[in-house]
Structures are given as structure tokens and as C-alpha cells.
Chains A and B, each alone.
Chain A
Amino acid sequence: MSAAPLFFAGASMYLSARQAKAQREAAKMQAEAYDEQAAEALLKGRFEALEYRQRGVDALRRLNEVLAASLARAAAGGIDPTSGSAAVIDMASQAEAIREKNISESNALMAEGDAAFQADQYRRAGQIAIKTGNVQAASTVAAGLIRVGQLV
């Protein structure tokens, strides 16, 4: 066998191997990017949950202010704040504030849940990207071998 086919077969195989390696590297980098995106999603979720909880707190703070004003007014007016309409109005306020506070808490939990889900998506995508890279690399090597096989 002359040297030329061997040279071309060797060169082709070498380049295929390099291509496969590059594919695996690209997949790895893609996975890393996904991991970072997962972390970012978690972080965003926590911030959002925090904002929701802050609103719950704000609702309770506002309720407290309303109840204090009502108490003061009643006192000033001589009204028993613990009964009658005052009490009813306060109870209504309490109900409203608590509802909003509960909604905020639910939203915070939901935000955290969404973030966790998104982060999980990214992590899984990264793992799959590595598998894809491996498959592509294997395919590239196999194709290279086939070509070599046709040359020699």
C-alpha cells in the first residue's frame, strides 16, 4: 500500500477526533451555562418571595395602623372599640389585611417554587447537553472511522 492513502486516512481521523473533542467541550460549556442560569433563577425566586413577604408584612403593618387609629378614635369618641360597629369595622380591616398577607405569603411560596422548578430545568438541560455532546462526539468519531475505513 502506498503512503498517500495512509496519510489522508490518518489526517482525517485526527481531525474527526479533534472535532469530537470540540463537541464534547462545547457541551460541557453549555452545561455550565445552564448551571449558572439555574442559580440565577433560584436567586430571582428568593428575591421575589422576599418581596411578597414584605408586602404581607406591609399589610399587617397597615392593619396595625388602622386598628390603632380606630382604637384611638373610638377612645376619643368614647366608643367602645371592642364592640359595635367599631369592632365590626376593625374586624373587617383585620380580615382584609390578613387576606392580603396570606396572598403575599402564597405568592412568596409560589415564587420560590417557580424558581426551584426553573433551576431544576436548567440543571437537567445542562446534563442533557453533556449527553448530547457525547453522542455528537461519538457520532463524529464513528463517521471518521468509516471514512478511514473507505480510504484504507
Chain B
Amino acid sequence: MGRAPRYERMGVRVRQPRGTRFAAQAEAVQYQEAVSQALGTMSDFLFEKGAEVAEQRGLERVKQEGAIPILEELQQQGGPRTIEEKTAYEAANKLAVAEIQTEAELDITKVLDEGQANKTSYNAIQSKLSDITDGYSSALSSIDPISAGLLRQRLIEATGKADMRYAKWWSGEQETIRREKQNVVAGNAAQTILQNATMPGATTLMIDAEIAASADTLKDLGVDEKALQDWQDEVKASAYKNNYLFSFNQLSVEEQGEAIERILGGEAKDLLPGMDYEDSVRFVNGILRPEYNRNVSVLGSQSKYVVNKVSDQSKILESGGRVSQDVIQEMRNRAIEVEQYDGGAAVQAVNELEGDTNIYSGFRAMSLAEMEATVRLYAEGIEGVGIEGRDTPLEVKRYEQASKFFEKMQTQIDQDAMGYAERVGFIERKQIVSIDEQGALQLDDVALSERALQAQQVADYYGLPQPKMLFADETRQLALVLERAEGAAKLNILGTLSSFDQASGQVLTDLADYNPDLALVGALINNGSTETALLAIAGLERMKAGEKPAYFSDQNIRPVYEEVFERAVTTPRAAQAIKGVAKAIYLELTSRRGVSGAVYGQATEDLDAELYKEALQLAAGYRLINGKEYGGIQEVRGVKTFINPNLDAGAYERMLNELTPEALASVTGLDISPALASSINETDDYKLRNIGGDKYVIEYGKNGDVAAADKEGRPIIFNSQELFEALIPQPQASQDRFGSLSSIFGTNELPENITQPELDFEEAIAPEVPTESPPLLTAGQLPDRRLNKKQTKFLRKQVEAAKIPASEYETRIKPFADKVPNEATNDEFVDYLDALFKGFNKSFEDWKATQ
């Protein structure tokens, strides 16, 4: 029987779990690691930054609190804990070490420097260095032990080195002191020996003994043998030489020469002590011969000195100077000293100078004419010397001396006649003008009159065309003072000059050499043209301040000048001065009037020609008195002629029309024929021309081609004022002062040459010539002031009584009156003016102080 079918198992089994890959967990782990790493990085970074900040704070703390305090603080808390504290501790340690070390080194250096400066002993320095080491070591307690140990070691090392350095210096110093002592003793001994060697009576034996004694002393001082021997040799050689040189210098120059020859002869007895022949020759060539040559040279120089000084003195004599007897005696003494060496040349020169002094003494006393005659005399030789003519040296010399003296005399008189006269003793100088504290000129009237007399004497004696009042240096100073003075002061000075009276012309003539413009202004003041002078001064001040007249070109002014003057002014200097003053006047007038070319000129932008003509006329001395024109440029017989400021054109017409041989001869000495006089009277072809100063020449022809001449052919030149007075004796517009406009740029006659004729007023006074004095001050010219009736009346009365010239008021009184302050009462004003009228010459304040 078969087996029943049965189900056979397929072998299905329960599934076993498969291995799962836990990727999510793995990724999660990785993620956490990544997060961890990132956070770690951040954390590290933050820590590093925090540490850095902490370190920085630590360093800052050290910086702020200082190393030692921090170290002490940390030590108290038991050491550093935080990063900040650790950093601060490390930094403070380093800093403290460096500080302490530096401080200690500085102290060491200071101790050494002070020790060297004070030469402190080595032991004392050692002690101080030890103190430094100990002192700084005690300061190391706060520092960490390692740094403290290192620092202590360094301090010991530094003080050790310093100790060695000082020891070396100290021993060197001791050695130096010892040597210095030896040198001082050796030097003193040598000096004493050398000095004794040059004493009279010193011998080589004495020298040897002194050297031996000094050598013993030096030996005791520790000088070594070799140095001692060298010292002895040197001192001995020098002492012997000095000893011989002393003896040599006691000899005369000849004996010195002989001694040198003897030494060079080479004999043993003649050689120098302590020297062989070679050394002796060397000594002779090195010392003795130069000494001998110098002595010879000194004698020659002294002789030359005397001869040269004689030559200098001779030049002084030639220039009019003098030689004092003291100088001659001194030169004679020097000449005698060298007489036997220069063959008597110096003595002869002094003798000649003495002779020349006498000759020149005679020259100095001579006038120019006498000197000229003397030159001529010497040109023919000296009588009794040689044969006839200049055939001996003495004659030639005297002629040359006289010629040179005459030449220089002329030059010096031309340049400064008064100065020359003073130098030769002809006059004695006295100060005539001084400048007071206010810069005003003060005149010494006595000295002035004496000076005028001296000037006349000098002019007479030396034949000057006109006297010179001032010395050259005085004129220069005056010109300088005028140049620097301000307007009012300038006017005051010029006003003072006008008070020189007759001498003022001479002064202004002198001044014209230096400042022609101001000299001309001074002349205007002298002539009474005060207003014109004021205008000129004001204009000059404006020019000094840099102002210039408009359109005032040479091209513009030349035609105007030529039209006004034509050939009236012939001297360039006078023309230049007139132009200069006219320019100043023109500038002042245009400034005051505010006019321009629009008034008189051709166009608005042009020179004001009419105004310039007016200025030229004013500068030339033009004045209008009582409707009559005086001075300036006026026509005489149809020709523009320069007119003396005291005369008018009519006066010149009359001079020509009424000229007589007698009148001309009386003022000039010229002898003309009556026929010529008659021709001059009747023919208008005879004209006048000013040739400088107040001098005029009579010319024939419209252009003045020929000068009229006297019988001897001399041109007819005359002084217009004199001729006018000779022809028509009558009073003048004002007294001619020698400072007149006509006189300062030319020659003028001397005061005593002017003969004032007897006046017969009734028949002599011509109607056109003013007879009154210069215009007087009137009450209307006084400054405006609201005075009451009584005050006005009183003032008018005082003005009338004072009779003060208007010009004086303008120059002297008005400047003071204008400066009276407004606060002054009318009574004070009136009283002050009254005082001024009576001669008071100071400011209102000064016057008030006297009340």
C-alpha cells in the first residue's frame, strides 16, 4: 500500500531581519560633529580675542600704574591668576628689570663722572658702587625670582666694570699729577736758571751750579734718569745761549759785528761756551746775526722815519700849516741817535725843516700878491747864493717851495678863504651862529660884527672879489640844517640869516654854492618878498613830501621860460635857481588855488602857463608896491632885462637916457667919451644886459652883438644900484641889503664902497619910486578872534605903536600867534600878542608860565 500523499514542506522559514543601514543616525552624528566643530572654532576665536584683550589690558595696566606697584599688588594677592594679570606681571617684570638696570647704570655713570670731576679717591668710588649694587638689590623683592637673579647679576657686572674703569682712570690721573708736578718744578727751575743767566755778572759756572741743584730736586720728585739728563742738557744749552745773548746785546752795533766775525774765525777761545764750532756757527746764524741785522735795520728805520716825518711836516708847511717846536725837537733827538749810522742824513733833514719853517712862516704872513711877488723873486734866484739865476739846489728848492705854496694858497683861498686865513693865523675863529634846543639859529651879534670885519680884512688882504662871511664847514652845516628843516623852521632860519643885515648877502652867496634854491629864497626874504618866500618854502616842502606839479615837463615849461626871460638872465646857476624856486611857487599856487590848465592854459590837461609866468616873475624878485612893479623881468628899451628888486624898469631907462661920463667914472672908474655917452642917451640900439649879480653891461644892437667900451677898450660894466644912485640920488623902495636877489649869484660891492650920497628929498624923489618903508603890520592881518570892543581897541593901539614890518610879523610873530590854543581866553591872547610885539619870542605855553 502506498503512502498517502501528503503535503511536503517547502521549507518556508520565518524571515530573519536584514541588517539595516542607519544612514540617518550616521548623518546625524556627522551633523553634530560639524556643529561641534563650528562652535569649537567660534569658541576658540572668541577665546583668543578675549585673551588678546586681556593681554592688552594687562599691558595698559602696567603702562598706567607702573611696573613696581603692579608687581607689589600681585605679590600680595599670591601671584597672577588671569591672563590679564599674567601679562601684566610678565611685562612689569621686564619693565622693572629694564628700569632698575637703566637707573643703576645712570647712577654708576654719575658716580664715575662726579668722581672724575672732583678727583674723588678710588676707595670712595668703590664704596659708592657697592652702595648702588646693594641698594638696587633690595628693590628686587617684587620681581619674579628669575628676573631678579638675572638683574642682580647684571648690576654686579656693571659695577665691576665701572670699578675697573675708574681704577684705570684714577691711576692715570695720579700719574698725570705726578708728571705735572715734575713739569712745573722743572719748568720753574728752568725759567729761574734762564732768567738768572741774563742777569749782569752771570757766568757759566753759576749756571752749572744752579742746574745741578735743580736736578737733585727733580730726582727726588721721581723724574727718571734719562728725562733728567735731557732736561739738564736743554736748560744748560738755553742758559748758555741766553747768557751770551745778554752779553752780546750789551755791545754796540759795531762790537756786535766784530764779535760775530771772531766767532766765525773758528779759534777755540772765541767759540761760545758749551758749544763746538758747528753749534757756535748755528747760533750765530740763527740768533746773533738776525739780532745784529735787526739792530742795524732799526737804526736805518729810525733815520728813515725822521726823514719821512720831515717830508710830512714840509707838506703841512706847504699847505699853510705850522710845525710845532716840540715836533722838531723830538725829531732832532731821534736824528741825533742815529747820526753816526746814517751819515747825518736825518739830522740834516731836521735842520732843513727848521730852516723851511722860518721860510714858510714868512709865506703864511703874505697876501696873494706878496706871495706872487715872492715866487717871481725866487724865480730869479737868491741874491748872494751862487751866481745869477737859479743855479744852486737851495735856490731851486726855495723856488719850488714858493711856487707850490702859492699854488695851494690860491686853491685854498678859492675853496675856503676864511679857513685859510684862520690856518695861517691871520684871523681867529669865533662862533657866530649856534643852534638851540628847538633847532633855531641863535646869532651872536658881537661875533657877527667881528666876523664881518674879519671877512672884509680877509677879502682885502687876499684880493677876494667879495668877502666870505662863513667858513666852508659852516656853510655846509647851514645848507644841511636848511635842507633838513621843516617849512616853518626853514623860514625862521632864513629869516635869521636876513638879520645878518649887510652880511646876509655874503652868507647867502656862500650858501648858493650848496643850495641855490634856498639861497634864492633867502634873498627874497631879504628883499622883503616875504609872501613869495612863504610860497616857495611851502612849495619846496610839498616837493620834499613827493608832490609834483602837473604837466610840468621840460617841453612845457621851456617855451614859457624863454618867453618871460629871453636873454635876461645869463648865468646858468641863477637861471637854474629861479627855475627851481618858480617850480616850488607854481606847485604851491596850483595847490592853493586848485587851478589847472583850464584857467589859463590851452587845454584842461596842460601846464598853467600864465600861472607859471607869474611864478617865474615872483622867483626873479618881482614885487608890486603901490601899483608899481619892481624887480623881476621887465622890458628896458624893448629888451627883456633882469631888474634889481629895488628898482623898476623906468630906473634903467633913465640910467641909459641920462648916463654921463662923470657918473660912470664915479662908480666904475671907466672913462668914456661924451660922444659915446650921448649916443647911449639918444640911441635905443644901446641895451642893457645883466651879467650876474647887480652887474650890467651896455651892449649895442638888438642882439647885443657888441659891448660898448671905454677909451681903453674895456667893456662898460657897472653896478645898477650904484649907477642909479650916482645919477639920481634919492631914497629907494627898501634898503639894498647885500643878500639881495641881485647879489647872491654874482659879485657885489663891499659895504664901504657904497657911498651914500647926500639926499635932497625935495628935488631927488621921483614920483614913481616909493619912499615909504616896507609895509607895516596892520590889525587886519592878525588872526581872527572874537574880541570885544575894548580888546580890539587895545590890540589896534598896540599894533600901531609897535610898528612891526609885515614881513617880521609873518616870519616871527604869526607862527607863534597861530599856535595859541582855542582854550586861551581873549585877554590872554591879547596880552600874549602884545608880548610878541615887544620882542617876546617863545610859545604861548612858555609865556603863560611867566604870568
Contacts and interface: CB of A to CB of B under 8 A. Distances in A.
Interface of A: 34, 37, 52, 55-56, 58-59, 62-63, 66, 69-70, 73, 85-86, 89, 92-94, 96-97, 100-101, 103-104, 106-107, 110-111, 114, 117-118, 120-126, 128-129, 131-132, 135-136, 138-139, 142-143, 146
B27 interface: yes
B7 A96 contact: yes
B7 A73 contact: no
Contacts of B20: 114, 117-118, 121
Contacts of B28: 128
Contact of B12 (A89, A100, A125): A100
Interface string B40-69: 011001000000000000000000000000
Contacts of A117: 20
A55 B15 CA distance: 12
Nearest to B17: A114
B205 interface: no
B7 A62 contact: yes
Nearest to A117: B20
A132 B7 contact: no
Given A86-B4, A131-B31, A132-B34, A106 B23 contact: no
Give the interface SS of chain A, mostly helix, strand, loop or mixed: helix
15 contacts: A66-B6, A70-B6, A89-B6, A92-B6, A93-B7, A106-B14, A121-B22, A122-B24, A123-B24, A126-B27, A128-B30, A129-B27, A129-B30, A132-B30, A135-B38
Closest 5 CB pairs of A and B: A93-B7, A139-B38, A125-B23, A124-B24, A107-B15
Most buried by A among B2, B10, B14: B10
A143 B10 contact: no
A59 B10 contact: yes
Contacts of A97: 7
A127 B28 CA distance: 9
B45 to A, nearest CB: 5
Given A121-B23, A139-B41, A93 B12 contact: no
B23 A132 contact: no
Given A114-B18, A136-B34, 5 more contacts: A97-B7, A121-B20, A121-B24, A121-B25, A125-B27
Contacts of B5: 66, 69-70, 73, 89, 93
A100 B13 CA distance: 8
B446 interface: no
A14 to B, nearest CB: 20
B6 A118 contact: no
B48 to A, nearest CB: 9
B188 interface: no
B9 interface: yes
B4 A70 contact: yes
B10 A73 contact: no
B21 interface: yes
A92 B7 contact: yes
A73 B27 contact: no
Contacts of A92: 6-7
Nearest to B39: A139
Contacts of B31: 128-129, 131-132, 135
Nearest to A101: B12
B644 to A, nearest CB: 99
Contacts of A37: 23
Contacts of B35: 135
A18 B216 CA distance: 104
A104 B12 contact: yes
A118 B19 CA distance: 10
B387 interface: no
A125 B24 contact: yes
Contacts of A114: 17-18, 20
B12 A73 contact: no
Contacts of A122: 21, 23-24
A58 B9 CA distance: 11
Contacts of B14: 103, 106-107
Contacts of B22: 121
A52 B7 contact: no
A52 B15 CA distance: 9
Contact of A139 (B10, B23, B26, B37): B37
Most buried by B among A56, A125, A126: A125
A93 to B, nearest CB: 3
Nearest to B30: A132
Contacts of A124: 23-24, 27
A118 B41 contact: no
B261 to A, nearest CB: 95
B6 A100 contact: no
B8 interface: yes
Given A135-B31, A136-B34, A142-B38, A73 B4 contact: yes
A128 B513 CA distance: 126
A21 to B, nearest CB: 16
Nearest to B42: A142
A150 B180 CA distance: 71
A85 B4 contact: yes
Contacts of B30: 128-129, 132
Most buried by A among B7, B30, B42, B45: B7
Contacts of B10: 55, 58-59, 62, 100
B7 A138 contact: no
A96 B13 CA distance: 12
A9 to B, nearest CB: 16
A92 B26 CA distance: 49
B83 to A, nearest CB: 19
B452 to A, nearest CB: 98
Nearest to A123: B24
Contacts of A55: 10, 12
A106 to B, nearest CB: 7
Contacts of B34: 132, 135-136, 139
Nearest to B13: A103
Contacts of A59: 10, 12
Contacts of B27: 34, 124-126, 128-129, 132
A123 B30 CA distance: 15
B41 A96 contact: no
A29 to B, nearest CB: 13
Interface string B794-822: 00000000000000000000000000000
Contacts of A107: 12, 14-15
B15 A106 contact: yes
Contacts of B21: 118, 121-122
Contacts of B6: 66, 70, 89, 92-93
A72 to B, nearest CB: 9
A97 B27 CA distance: 45
Contacts of A143: 41
Most buried by A among B13, B17, B26, B38: B38
A104 B15 CA distance: 8
Contacts of B13: 103
A90 B111 CA distance: 130
Contacts of A131: 31
Contacts of A132: 27, 30-31, 34
Contacts of B41: 139, 142-143
B34 to A, nearest CB: 5
Interface string B576-594: 0000000000000000000
A102 B100 CA distance: 98
A122 B21 CA distance: 8
A117 B19 CA distance: 11
Contacts of B9: 96, 100
Given A121-B21, A121-B23, A136 B38 contact: yes
